[in-house]
Amino acid sequence: MTLSKNDYSADPGSRPGTADTVTNPTAGTTFGEVLALRYSRRDALCGLAATGVIAALDTGFADALNGGTSPSARADGAKSQFTFAEIKHGVDETHHVAPGYSADVLIRWGAPVTADAPDFDPMKQSTAAQSKQFGYNCDFIGYFPLPRGSSASERALLAVNHEYTIPGLMFARVEGTREQVAIELAALGASIVEVRKDPRGEWQVVPHSRHGRRITAETPMRISGPAAGDHRLKTKADPTGTTVLGMLANCAGGQTPWGTYLSAEENFHGFFSGGANGLRPSRSERRYGIPGGTSRWARFDARFDIGVEPNEPNRFGWIVEIDPYDSSAMPRKRTALGRFRHEGAETILNRDGRVVVYSGDDQANEYIYRFVTNGRFDPTSPAANRDLLDSGALSVAKFAADGTLAWLPLVHGHGPLTAANGFTGQADVVIDARLAADLLGATKMDRPEDIEPDPRTGKVYAVMTRNADRRPDQVDGANPRGPNPFGHIIEIAPTDGDHAAPTARWELLIAAGNPRDPAHRAAYHPATSANGWFAAPDNIAFDPAGRLWVATDQGSTWSKSGTADGLWAIETDGAYRGYSRMFFRAPLGAEVTGPRFTPDGTTLFLSIQHPGAHGGKGFADPATHWPDFAPGMPPRPAVVAITRNDGGVIGA
């Protein structure tokens, strides 16, 4: 997610912070400096090819880094595995999808979720209604087949995150009342809805389903793992430090092999305001950007005032595990996975049976993390897997110029992680994972967002959205980029295919931006068309065939690229490695998030977040009225279901 102050001009107090603001004061090595060491100008043409940044020894990638233009087709007759006709770059009020496909709105903000939910009325909103209706700003989408344990592609539960609110687009008049704040709290969290494909092949939400469930910023949750019960998580309302109300700023996420849903708390810091009697924020608070704004929530709920409840922020910034099939199961915040601004929590089953979770810290100059469970997944005993995520090894990535990567253990007593440096136990390590990673010398990255393993090859793809803080003197002329306004994608290959190994190798897959503009110094496969390039990669997904899809989030900076956000299909290996093709385009002001395929690959679900947020004049005169385009109806974040008109596999 990218936030800009202008997005919240109607109500600056609600702005939950920006991912482009740097709170990492360390002098640690940036990824740009690592790239500069690895790929010097002298080695640009031969080194990039030799180290695998491009396949088939194409020099077009290196030419593009230097502002060159590559040929539009290969001479060897190789063909891309993506056969759909590309759509064009552009910006307008509605969405667009490749010819031969349909993108139908499945569920939108305010639609009924629970069986007793009322219909949506934007002029008569209430907390009671919103707590039963689809929340605001949908993000991650999880697909859970029905019945449980099946591979059904016609009936399932969708678990959808709701990241943050925009009062200026939600309310006809932003009054900052207790009731409006309560509505916003109810609009956060997650929605679980039952969906099915009807005989015509169209997806529908099942009305009055017993599975319909809302999880909000007020839903009780259990705290588990090494930080549970720690004195830094205790509050007046929860003297045990084991129960918290709700989850905040839930962006991307993941799914476990045992059928649960991992929801990542990202920009939680911005919801807290106030101060400890005028005292300077602590080292930990400064490192996490707390207080993150002037949120008016604290006027009505003391838990968001750090002067009243200084430990409350420590109870957010975690991975939350939810069982979408069991509404009686209390969500759990799994503290063993560390506390930071999590973007994503995708898993892969390691060859020894342990489960590995990758996650990025979505802020400029932050880090990439990995968690490996101590226990092993047991497919025959669901109960045995229930608490796998409470015990394991958390580590942080350090990239080297020779193309290697070291996973540095975030374990109390390891190296500098001792009481002398403020870490009295593993609870301190996970609560202050950023400070621990600083001491270990992890590599500062360009806003690490989604990180997902390829289920086919086992390679891991990490998305860096951008970094305006990188200085030009931190890179040389052959390498992306200082500053880095467009982002890039990194490929990580675990040593011997072992995701628990202490080392890996890395390569650059794509440097985003327009390769035909020398100033961008972008890099793709040379066959990439004028519509195949993109800016600010954010969420990624693999389809059942193991092909990569990338969604973008430029925020209010879309004018730099001149095109709206969308979804692109990417080749990751073979003769077309680094080839990109545009498939979907979002309406004005929106970003595309949460791509998720059905098991048979015939449906793609996408979240369309904050339509109309950039431009326009708020509720009364937004930049777009998508998706309803109805009088008096504001723009509404929504999930769309994309299918091929002939019923075939998406993209093939």
Alpha carbon 470 to chain centroid, angstroms: 22
pLDDT in tens, 294-350: 568 898 999 999 999 999 999 999 999 999 999 999 999 999 999 999 999 999 999
Angle at CA of residue 147, ends 190 and 349, nearest 5°: 70
65, containing H or E segment: helix 60-65
Tokens representing 306 are 């750090």
Distance of CA 205 to the CA centre of its chain: 24
Alpha-carbon distance 135 to 156, whole Å? 19
Contact partners, residue 42, CB within 8 Å, separation at least 6:
none
For 507, the token pair is 């390569």
Answer whether 371's CB lies under 8 Å from 394's CB. Answer: yes
* E strand segments, 61-180: 96-97, 101-108, 138-145, 155-162
Nearest to 635 by CA among 580, 591, 577: 591
Mean pLDDT of 484-505: 96
pLDDT at 11 over 90: no
Residue entry with tokens 């973008």: 552
Q: Which two tokens stand for residue 634?
A: 């504001």
Does residue 13 carry a pLDDT above 50?
no
Rounded CA separation 235/309 (Å): 6
Strands 243-245 and 220-224: antiparallel
**pLDDT at residue 160 above 70?**
yes
Contacts of 164 (CB under 8 A, 6+ apart): 1, 3, 16, 136, 137, 188, 249, 267
Q: Are the CB atoms for 550 and 540 separated by under 8 Å? A: yes
> Is the pLDDT assigned to residue 104 strictly greater than 90?
yes
Residue 523 main-chain phi, psi, to 5 deg: -150, 125
Burial class (CB in 10 A: 0-12, 13-18, 19+), 18: buried
Distances in whole angstroms, Cα of residue 628 to Cα of each of 169, 543, 632, 633, 637: 14, 29, 10, 7, 11
Maximum Cα–Cα distance across the chain: 70
Fill in the amino acid letter for 381. S
Q: Is the pLDDT of residue 419 over 70?
A: yes
CA angle 307, 175, 271 (to 5 degrees): 35
pLDDT at 1: 56
| The pLDDT of residue 473 | 63
Determine the Cα–Cα distance for residues 365 and 158; give it in Å rounded to an integer: 33
Q: How many CA atoms lie within 13 A of 77 on its CB side?
A: 0
Which secondary-structure segment (H or E) carries 491? Answer: strand 488-494
Which residue, 110, 146, 144, 154, is CA-closest to 129?
A: 110
Do residues 474 and 36 lie in contact, with contact meaning Cβ atoms separated by under 8 Å? yes
Q: How many whole angstroms separate alpha carbon 384 and alpha carbon 394?
A: 21
The 3-state DSSP class for residue 311 equals coil
- Per-residue confidence at 164, pLDDT binned at 50, 70, 90? very high
**Do residues 589 and 613 lie in contact, with contact meaning Cβ atoms separated by under 8 Å?**
yes
Lowest mean pLDDT among 177-191, 326-340, 468-482, 623-637: 468-482
Q: Please check the confidence at residue 55 and state whether its pLDDT lies above 80.
A: no
How, if at all, do strands 220-224 and 332-334 pair? parallel
pLDDT-derived band at 651 (thresholds 50, 70, 90) equals very high
Range of lowest pLDDT (244-253, 270-279, 497-506)? 270-279
